Amino acid sequence: MKTTVTAIRPQYNENNIPELILTCPHRSDLADLPELKAALANGKTLDVEIKVHRNKRSLDANGFCWVMCQKIAEKLSQPKAPVTKEDVYRQSIRQVGQFTILPIRNDAVDTWIYNWGAGRIGWICENLGDSKLEGYSNIRSYYGSSVYNTKDMARLIDYIVSDAKELDIETLTPSELSILKNEWGKSNENQTK
Same domain, 68 and 22: no
Whether 47 and 63 map to the same domain: the answer is no
Average pLDDT of span 5-17: 88
Do 15 and 63 reside in the same domain of the chain? no
Do 153 and 86 lie in one domain? The reply is: yes
| Whether residue 157 sits in one domain with residue 69 | yes
What are 116-162's pLDDT values in tens digits?
999 899 999 999 999 999 999 999 999 999 888 888 888 999 999 99
Same domain, 183 and 96: yes
Task: Report the predicted TM-score, pTM, of the whole model to 2 decimal places.
Answer: 0.63
Q: Is the pLDDT of residue 187 over 60?
A: no
Per DSSP, the residues of the chain read -----SEEEEEE-TTS-EEEEEE-S-GGGGTTHHHHHHHHHTT-----------PBPPHHHHHHHHHHHHHHHHHH-BTTB---HHHHHHHHHHHH--EEEEEEEGGGHHHHHHHHHTT-TT--EEEEEE-SSTTEEEEEEEPPGGG-BHHHHHHHHHHHHHHHHHTT-----HHHHHHHHHHTTHHHHHHT-
Q: Whole domain around residue 10: which residue ranges?
A: 1-53
**What pLDDT was estimated at residue 22?**
82
Whether residues 46 and 93 fall in one domain: no
Q: What is the mean pLDDT of residues 82-87?
A: 95
Question: Are 117 and 84 in the same domain?
Answer: yes
Query: Does residue 139 share a domain with residue 161?
Result: yes
Does residue 98 sit in the same domain as residue 150? yes
Q: Has residue 28 got a pLDDT over 70?
A: no
Read off the CATH number of the domain in which 99 is found.
1.10.3790
The residue out of 53, 76, 94 marking a domain boundary is 53
pLDDT of residue 156: 93
Q: How many domains does the chain have?
A: 2
